Structure 1
Amino acid sequence: MGFSIATIVEIHGRHETQCGTREQREANLDLVNREFASIAQQQADLARRTASLKTAKKELEQLLG
Structure 2
Amino acid sequence: MKSNTKLTSVNILDDVYKKFKIKSIEGSINLQKIVNRSLDLYIKDEKYRETINSHNGLAASGSKF
TM-score (norm 1): 0.31
Largest Rg, 1 or 2: 1
TM-score (norm 2): 0.31
**Greater relative CO (CA pairs within 8 A, separation 6+):** 1
